[in-house]
Chains A and B, each alone.
Chain A
Amino acid sequence: MPFGNTHNNFKLNYKVEEEFPDLAKHNNHMAKVLTKDIYAKLRDKQTPTGFTLDDVIQTGVDNPGHPYIMTVGCVAGDEESYEVFKDLLDPIISDRHGGYKATDKHKTDLNFENLKGGDDLDPNYVLSSRVRTGRSIKGYALPPHNSRGERRAVEKMSVEALNVLEGEFKGKYYPLKSMTDAEQEQLISDHFLFDKPVSPLLLAAGMARDWPDGRGIWHNENKTFLVWVNEEDHLRVISMQQGGNMKEVFRRFCVGLQKIEETFKKHNHGFMWNDHLGFVLTCPSNLGTGLRGGVHVKLPKLSTHAKFDEILTRLRLQKRGTGGVDTASVGGVFDISNADRLGSSEVEQVQCVVDGVKLMVEMEKKLEKGESIDSMIPAQK
């Protein structure tokens, strides 16, 4: 079980060969990196809260591979996991984040004024714009490992911080376990409600324990700024609206986040952050900015063009279906977002989205007129 440091000392009675997982049929980042030597070196270690190597890798052992995406196959149980298990996690981080080295530094830039453009994406094509990230509260174990007491404390602190927000950010908290039917209906039709995870990637990491205790949704009155509490991370912060004004979405995102952080700091709690990994989150794939900025955009012609995937790669973007990370696209509408998380700042990543989407909409228009887009294909960014 992920919770508690049980059995680890007892496991050491067995030899490495006896405990090493069978990864013969596996295809995830953890399985590519974990060797018997690394296992031997790390198996007797624990973080201060008692998270162990087997806790880190359990999800990757239980889930050999995903059809659409190369999964990470490991999680952190607390901030120190990234330090204690660096011999395993640094190579995984490097694989996942484009060669990011153990000595590299990550820069944070939440100054929305540094974003150029982004307020003029054509709403005939760009249906909606959204930026999300995650934040972890320093000193508290993460969702794979926290106890009910810790999770409830995170909820309490988060709600206190959010209730202080004013003006465009004034809002209300809806705890999952005491939601009325009417509230639930409303949150579903707003597409805000998150449900108990069903993905085995999350379940195997122990993140759904005690559901729905300590979980909830907070949003402002305009429904443009939304916070999920205790889902896959302590906090997931989302700014969104219909149409293509990514500039406004990003402004609200930056301002809201910084106000939340100020309130936490007043209570002597910061967010988990360091200058190597940026913001520390449960899944190594979300390190750095933890930011996914994206749009739902109609690209029926471009998406069937032979070079679509290559264009995306060069623009440092990724495509998903409009249902989220592990879905397929419907009706030529794609979710297009930044591919990078670590090694570039928030402003840089959103800039990629803004510039890239603008270019792709122009390409779509060209293809509609029957013209070629070959001259528009960009160089690798």
Chain B
Amino acid sequence: MAGSFARVLSSKRKVGILSLVGAGSLTVGFFMNREQHVSAGAHVRRIYPPSAEYPDLRKHNNCMASHLTPAIYAKLVHKSTPNGYTLDEAIQTGVDNPGHPFIKTVGMVAGDEESYEVFADIFNPIIKERHNGYDPCNMKHPTDLDSSKIRGGLFDEKYVLSSRVRTGRSIRGLSLPPACTRAERREVERVVIDALGGLRGDLTGKYFSLTQLTDQEQQQLIDDHFLFDKPVSPLLTCSGMARDWPDARGIWHNNEKTFLVWINEEDHTRVISMEKGGNMKRVFERFCRGLQEVERLIQEKGWEFMWNERLGYILTCPSNLGTGLRAGVHVSLPRLCKDPRFAKILDNLRLQKRGTGGVDTAAVGNTFDISNLDRLGQSEVQLVQTVIDGVAYLIECEKRLEKGQDIKIPAPISQFK
């Protein structure tokens, strides 16, 4: 905690001392822990005991609801981060959205880097459940963006139609999308496009601000499948991420349309490397190079990414901690997908399937989006290698089935290497 504070104070922003005093701590000192009986006309904030404020989670099925006990709630409800973010704000999205039919949602977000420390008593068990047993209390997360370590990664394009790697990055010292002020959001935009403007060679590109798109630009971005729209998912809108839309939101991409950055959507930045076809190795190489170059450029101006060795890269949603990385392919597996062993094979390879429309869609035809299951506890190189090895295995299975040969369920690969 002291380390991240030092970074905040050393970054090139004037941080008022007042901002470091949490609002919640003042209120607790002033009121006693029971309702103040107020006669009509008095001017005080009603403070109720935590038991009167505890949300009704009986019909809920998300990670927050599974772990937020009344005791934890009571312990944390009057705390706030230095910027004033509170537990009730962090859990609002999980209270408002009891459950999703396809996937168990996380149900809480971070408003700033310090949220993960101040509310660790609820974040830690959620992180452990969501990240398949990674224990933030005693494990360390490795970061490795050295793409030269990758073996293989050139897929048969008869099967692999496209390859993509995405992650997110947050700018240390600025609040995250659920909590940021308009000025902070605009500063994120300024810092990031300033850095992206310094990219050269195949990474040279251009920024399109959502507030100033011409009709023609908008159409082009739609045709390229690059445009993102105001979130409609209540999972996002209930956490406040869509406030002030489309102020300070935008899309940057290189001229070749293989490296793309979203600004101020669900995270400060989402970074995507992609191309048609099966050259995942090149996609990852460009991903690493682009990310490291952007990092160098923001550091020149005195900024850095939010990162620590317990949680890796810090992002808004706990599901994206660690690498925040999803590396995947759109792959055609007409025979394998009908085999009853398909799900188990994916499981053992630590891969997940999605429809080609994204996280909450179903598959169409025989083409699937196959990507890494894990985010936290393994490095970028490890996860991408897992995808490469796994997809290669799936293609092998498909080819064997084409020839009428049998396939085998592979042994489960180990999770934390």
Contact = CB atoms under 8 A, between A and B. Distances in A.
B23 A1 contact: no
Interface string A192-235: 00000000000110001111010000000000000000000000
A61 B41 contact: no
B297 interface: no
Interface stretch (B46-54, B160-168, B251-259, B330-338): B46-54
Interface stretch (A86-94, A143-151, A243-251): A143-151
Interface string A76-119: 00001000000000000000000000000000000000000000
A6 interface: yes
Interface stretch (B88-96, B126-134, B343-351, B380-388): B88-96
A204 B231 CA distance: 13
B362 interface: no
A327 interface: no
B241 to A, nearest CB: 10
A171 interface: no
Contacts of A141: 45-46
A7 interface: yes
- Which of under 10, 10 to 19, 20 to 34, or 35 or more describes the interface residues of B? 35 or more
B182 A4 contact: no
Interface string B56-100: 100000000000000000000000100111101100100110000
A18 interface: yes
Helix, strand, loop or mixed for chain A's interface? loop
Interface string A342-360: 0000000000000000000
Given A6-B179, A177-B56, A209-B92, A61 B243 contact: yes
Given A11-B181, A22-B211, A139 B16 contact: no
B242 A7 contact: no
A269 B40 contact: yes
B45 A62 contact: no
A59 B240 CA distance: 12
Contacts of B184: 14
B408 interface: no
A14 B183 contact: yes
A248 to B, nearest CB: 33
A211 B211 contact: no
Contact of A6 (B52, B89, B183): B89
Interface string A335-373: 000000000000000000000000000000000000000
A167 B49 CA distance: 38
A13 B56 contact: no
A20 B244 CA distance: 11
Given A6-B23, A177-B56, A208-B96, A14 B243 contact: no
A140 interface: yes
A213 B53 contact: no
